[in-house]
Chains A and B, each alone.
Chain A
């Protein structure tokens, strides 16, 4: 069963069930690591129709373990797209009106070149032979995808968490190509606490004997236990104590008494085990290493001589930042410091903090205030861009 699942994930890596754009040796991807990635491919999904002026395109950037299936049934899990509540015909991001693009990031495992992809030089999966990928590399690749569509300026780039980092990187690296930017629950850098959590996850993966130095596909194995532990630890950081307490408290799982053993006595234990188990069905362990690393390396201010404002100097992009009160992974202060930098750069910026006890994950949930903010921001940007409603 494990081997079968491994093959399925691996198939998605090379032959995804979504459109894929392949770049040959004449169009390598320049990586921050100092090497070139070539050939490489980007898997993506689109929804809606690009208008004649090519002015109605919205790029959605996915989070750490997300993928391009933002508004369609996920081919691996069979579940609805991760932002289907927001994006679709007649929804807040109305695909009757906008052309929505979502790509799997470079380093991912659902069709864009990543560690699970076949290395053309060896005929085997890249594993750790893939150079370390940065957020800027991901954005550079997305930019090549946007070029392919002939889109000069994106109407909006939006995303949460790692997706929000990509939004900031887009606005900083290609300001003239981003009309409006909506980074949600994110930061301009990864904090040391966040790096620490990621390191726990990576160590869990690498400590699994099935990891085999990253060459597990060649052994017909996958480090499922390590990856599940990584996911369990990470999942706690996506929630808040209040939400956990409300949902689980100290309730026991399918029993009346403690067992005085190490079974999942508590509901929270069994919930986390479930989260870990379902995650390994859809995600590649090496990809997890690469994705977490890309976030750890992210530091826009450091890329601009230590001054965040310099990253956005002279920008004409309209910004709206959103944070959540109970998000301790990317607390409001992180957003606020970006807002201050944008103000110092004279940018057009809005900032909404949403009161919720659902923690970091709130951006993926049905949050009316979040939707009202997105709706207001997109609506006013559309008017400014001359996109009739």
Chain B
């Protein structure tokens, strides 16, 4: 279910948020890159949930513990606080009900880590403003008519949603186009404008 291109600079940022030997559920585990990274580098007890059967079979063949499932439907089967961390990387915008999904993540994990492409990035804004067309960028490589991404949000929107759900932002990182972290001292409007991707560590 990791629906965007291969530029996954966010994976390392996510991995750095997770201490060794944690119990981790990766929702939208794709081909298993993050789980494999976590397993090899941090000896985590990792599980994955992935929408595409192809991705799941690939993960299992790689020796990862992954099941086929849909974040919109299947998270309800997971027990409360069953994991130290639940990760949703580059998947939120492809869910039908992002609010419900985020709510479930906060229920299942002691911490939730969410990464997503920032629709408030200046390129996106520029594309819409100047060309009057839906943006196609490195992180958002799809045309409007065949995109799996149905619920885009900006960093600002996401922060608002977290407030609505009573989630505390413990850490937030925005990555610019080069995959570099944007300094913490920068104000939110700056992140929202220059962050191409965002990674949030949340708790409730």
Contact = CB atoms under 8 A, between A and B. Distances in A.
Interface stretch (A13-21, A54-62, A110-118, A376-384): A376-384
B60 A350 contact: yes
Contacts of B65: 318, 320, 348-350, 380
A377 B57 contact: no
B79 A372 contact: no
A277 interface: no
Interface string A46-60: 000000000000000
Given A340-B77, A351-B56, A354-B57, A383 B63 contact: yes
Q: Nearest 10 A-B pairs (CB), nearest first?
A: A380-B63, A376-B61, A351-B67, A372-B61, A340-B77, A376-B63, A373-B60, A350-B65, A350-B60, A376-B60
A310 to B, nearest CB: 13
Contacts of A346: 79, 82
Interface in B136-164: none
A343 interface: yes
A375 interface: yes
B67 A350 contact: yes
A375 B59 CA distance: 12
A376 B59 CA distance: 8
Nearest to B53: A353
Contact of B68 (A343, A352, A369): A352
B171 interface: no
A218 interface: no
Tier of interface size on chain A: 20 to 34
B57 A344 contact: no
Given A340-B74, A343-B78, A344-B77, A380 B56 contact: no
A351 B77 contact: no
Nearest to B74: A340
A318 B63 CA distance: 11
Interface string B67-94: 1110000100111001000000000000
Given A349-B47, A351-B56, A373-B57, A379 B68 contact: no
Contacts of A318: 65
A369 B55 CA distance: 12
Interface of B: 45, 47, 53, 56-57, 59-69, 74, 77-79, 82
Contacts of B60: 320, 350, 352, 372-373, 376-377
For A340, A354, A355, A375, which residue has the most chain B Cβ atoms within 10 angstroms? Answer: A340
B65 to A, nearest CB: 5
Interface of A: 318, 320, 339-340, 343-346, 348-355, 369, 372-373, 375-377, 379-380, 383
Contacts of A349: 47, 65, 67
A376 B35 CA distance: 14
B58 to A, nearest CB: 9
A211 B118 CA distance: 74
Query: Is the contact region of chain B dominated by helix, strand, or loop, or is it mixed?
Result: mixed
Contact of B79 (A344, A350, A351, A376): A344
B68 A351 contact: yes
A354 to B, nearest CB: 7
A161 B65 CA distance: 22
B91 to A, nearest CB: 18
A348 B56 CA distance: 15
A350 B32 CA distance: 12
A343 B27 CA distance: 13
B118 to A, nearest CB: 32
Contacts of A339: 67, 69
B186 to A, nearest CB: 40
Contacts of B62: 376, 380
Given A348-B47, A349-B65, A372-B61, A343 B53 contact: no
B28 to A, nearest CB: 15
14 contacts: A320-B60, A343-B67, A343-B82, A348-B45, A348-B47, A349-B67, A353-B53, A372-B61, A373-B60, A376-B60, A376-B62, A377-B63, A380-B63, A383-B63
Contacts of A352: 53, 56-57, 60, 68
A61 to B, nearest CB: 20
A320 B53 CA distance: 14
A369 B82 CA distance: 30
A372 B56 CA distance: 12
A379 B45 contact: no
A383 to B, nearest CB: 7
Nearest to A339: B67
A376 B63 CA distance: 4
A353 B56 CA distance: 9
Contacts of B59: 350
B79 to A, nearest CB: 6
Contacts of B69: 339, 351
Contacts of A345: 79
A380 B68 contact: no
B61 A343 contact: no
Contacts of B78: 343-344
Nearest to B45: A348
A368 B160 CA distance: 47
A133 B78 CA distance: 35
A350 B53 contact: no
